[in-house]
Amino acid sequence: MASGGKQRGLIIIVIALVLIAILGVAYFVLSRGTSLLSPGTQQTGGAAAPAPSAKMTSIVITTQKIPRGSVITESVITTLAYPEKDLVPGTFFTNPKDVLNKQAKFDLEPRMPITQAMLVTGQAGVGSYAAFQIPKGYVAVSMPINRLSAVSFAPVVGDHVNIIASMLVVDIDQNTQSKLPNNLAKVIPEYGATESDPGSLTATIGDKGGEQGRVEIDATLQHPVYVVPSEVQRPRLVSQMVIQDAIILRMGNFPTSELAKTSGVEPTAQPNAGGEASAATPAAPDIITLIVRPQDAITLDYLQQTGAKISLALRSAGDVDPAAVEAVTLQYLFQTYNIPNPPKTNFGVEPRLDNMPVTTSVRPTPIP
């Protein structure tokens, strides 16, 4: 009996261990399968639940290349879906109506998102295209040019130039504002005047004397002589770099057509040998428009009104630093470059040379 009871107890223990092992395996399998299922992929009724989508908005982009200065129309823009969470307020336009009838500040490439910095604010047709190319605090002013004064037409739009002005200076009478020397007139005493009563003096304007001179003591005769000028006053030349770092806005005239806004020179048709108009060739510009400070614009206008000769000096690309320069006069040339004053000699050259010869370029004779 005792042995039978022990056998039954052993069988019960084995069965219990087997059941515990089965329950452990079942728990492990079930718990592992549940952890492998994400919340978005748990099955409901045998189908996977869809993941929630990000909220989208739209931004305005270009559909084709838009040249600078062109008016934005509906045919050159469209909208593109864009994640709302990634949109920074004020960066891109979201409403196409906000960009219509504005002008492109520079060339816009296709499929480019449009920002406020790319457009010209204001209504279309109000103001000029050139006006928004001028930085704030600056103005544009025009001046005539030729091949020599414009560095052989090398500068183009966007280049930086310095402006050199040369002018002739003369001495004038401060009271009459006329060029010296003054002219002398005869002075006639009043009729019947005596030495004790000279009366009044009358200047005869119609019968002018010579030009006003000065009294000098002759070194040999030790006698005063009256020295008068042998010719009219010679003006004195002075040159100075009056404006530095002016920006070229345009070479030549601005186009009158809004559709022909280019930065080059206006082409003109040239007749060929048969009298017919040939292909358009660039015409040499005779005027330049510069971006300068307001005070420099007044300076340029004054120089032009006074007839000063103005020349341009092309600056190196990227060089905007001011240069320390000095005004050039005859005295400056002789002292700085050690030019001697030619001595007086008892010989000379023949024929007599009174003016410097002008060297001109010789053009070849055209072949018939």
Backbone angles phi, psi at 149, to 5 degrees: -75, -20
- pLDDT > 90? residue 164: yes
Identify which has the larger pLDDT, 154 or 40.
Answer: 154
Identify which has the larger pLDDT, 12 or 49.
Answer: 12
What token pair was written down for 89? 């307020």
Is omega for the bond preceding 181 within 30 degrees of 0, making it cis? yes
What token pair was written down for 307? 């007839």
Identify which has the larger pLDDT, 35 or 17.
Answer: 17
What token pair was written down for 282? 């660039």
d(CA 123, CA 71): 10
C-alpha to C-alpha distances, 58 to 83, 142, 147, 318, 349, nearest whole angstrom? 8, 45, 53, 40, 87
Extract the runs of DSSP E, i.e. beta strands, from the chain. 43-44, 47-48, 56-62, 77-83, 103-104, 119-120, 139-144, 160-169, 183-189, 201-211, 214-217, 224-227, 236-251, 267-271, 277-282, 287-292, 309-314
Q: DSSP label at 99?
A: T
pTM, two decimals, is: 0.62
- pLDDT > 60? residue 343: yes
Q: What is the DSSP string of 304-342?
A: HHTT-EEEEEEPPTT---------B-HHHHHHHTTPPPP
Residue boundaries of the structural domains of the chain: 56-125, 139-170+235-267+281-336, 183-227
What token pair was written down for 194? 């005596």
Beta bridge partners of 119: 104
pLDDT at 264: 43
pLDDT at 360: 58
Identify which has the larger pLDDT, 302 or 105.
Answer: 302
What token pair was written down for 91? 């960066």
CB 296 within 8 A of CB 239: no
Write the burial class of residue 241 (CB in 10 Å: 0-12 exposed, 13-18 middle, 19+ buried): middle
Whole-number average pLDDT of the chain? 81
pLDDT at 286: 95
Residue range 94-98: mean pLDDT, rounded: 91
Half-sphere exposure of 214 (CA within 13 A, CB side): 6
pLDDT at 260: 46
Q: What is the CATH number of domain 56-125?
A: 3.90.1210.10
* Beta strand 267-271 pairing with 277-282: antiparallel
Residue range 135-153: mean pLDDT, rounded: 95
Under the banding of pLDDT at 50, 70 and 90, the label for residue 6 is low
pLDDT at 263: 39
What token pair was written down for 174? 């401060």
CB 280 within 8 A of CB 319: no
CB 283 within 8 A of CB 265: yes
What is the radius of gyration, based on Cα positions, of the chain? 46
Identify which has the larger pLDDT, 143 or 227.
Answer: 143
Identify which has the larger pLDDT, 2 or 130.
Answer: 130
pLDDT in tens, 48-63: 555 566 788 999 999 9
pLDDT at 259: 40
Residue range 182-211: mean pLDDT, rounded: 67
d(CA 78, CA 212): 83
Beta bridge partners of 103: 71, 120
Residue type, 16: A
Under the banding of pLDDT at 50, 70 and 90, the label for residue 332 is very high
d(CA 111, CA 79): 10
- pLDDT > 90? residue 305: yes
